[in-house]
Structure 1
């Protein structure tokens, strides 16, 4: 038997994180200098939005819903994260491509950690589907692989000197 109150709070945290993550993915999809990265991130946004819908279902399953205060805090934190200059004051720094992709990897790792907890709970909880968490984990692994590929390409582009 699970503690619905604690799990509800945990899921609210992950939901707030997913809201901030979606904003970061959208911004990165709009601003990455590499068109391949922009396209890949735009595609990921759609999948992450679908994952957020799954979180809403699990929140409801434990008698909870997204917390507007936590969501607002996550939204503010994401917006404040935009104000780091990365070596440039007036225009976007090429370093921002690398830093954003690293932040997206960290966010995706956090999401996967949450899915792993829920997957384990699903083994003893009829309201949760083990197979759905297996799919969500598979998707997170795929996203992590893609983000790592994009991150390394950006890092090589930014840190290698021409010639």
Structure 2
């Protein structure tokens, strides 16, 4: 009587030759930790700026970033990659710890704090572009990855980069000029 293969053995069989399933799992879980932090940062920044032009620009970006995190989870599920909860918790904790940075004001948001949050968000989106690009390249060898979906995610991330960069430049001008 044959025992059914373990989940690891089944996942390794489905992974294309030349792809290290273990390293892919580590890579995607690291990006999930970053996506968790980015989702929190984007949501907080949109809330902080609510009612302003910045808030109106960031609310849809924050919603998309949350959708992108969900897309990453779905891709991991499609690939049979388990979520490492400790990495998700680390991403959540890192975002919370990032709120403790000195920003030039004792209470309330400061223009410098908003600038730093925009810069952090921009870096996170750049990381997301990188993971979508890596997965897109991998999709040529792995039928479990939907190339068209990855193209859509990549295009959306690039639009997010453009929006966040536009507001980062504006915020830098406001925060760093005398009297700003």
TM over 0.5, yes or no? yes
CA distance in 1, matches of 2:82, 2:53: 36
Give TM-score scaled by structure 2 length.
0.83
Map of 1:20 onto structure 2: 37
> Pairwise CA RMSD of aligned residues?
1.8
Looking at secondary structure, tell me which structure has more helix per residue: 1
Map of 1:146 onto structure 2: 163
Structure 1 unaligned spans of 5+ = none
User: Which deviates further from its counterpart, 40-49 or 136-145?
Assistant: 40-49
CA distance in 1, matches of 2:121, 2:111: 16
Map of 1:136 onto structure 2: 153
CA distance in 1, matches of 2:72, 2:148: 15
Map of 1:88 onto structure 2: 105
CA distance in 2, matches of 1:54, 1:23: 16
Deviations 1:93-149 (A, max 9, x none): 221111111010000001111111101101111111111111111111100000010
Query: Structure 2 residue aligned with 1:4, among 5, 21, 30?
Result: 21
Alpha-carbon distance, 1:33 to partner: 7.8
Structure 2 unaligned spans of 5+ = 1-15
Q: Does 1:44 align with 2:57?
A: no
- Deviation >4 Å, runs of 4+: none
SS in structure 2 opposite 1:83? coil
CA distance in 2, matches of 1:123, 1:102: 33
Alpha-carbon distance, 1:67 to partner: 1.4
| Conservation of the 8 A alpha-carbon contact between 2:39 and 2:69 | no
Number of residue-to-residue matches in the alignment: 163
Alpha-carbon distance, 1:70 to partner: 0.4
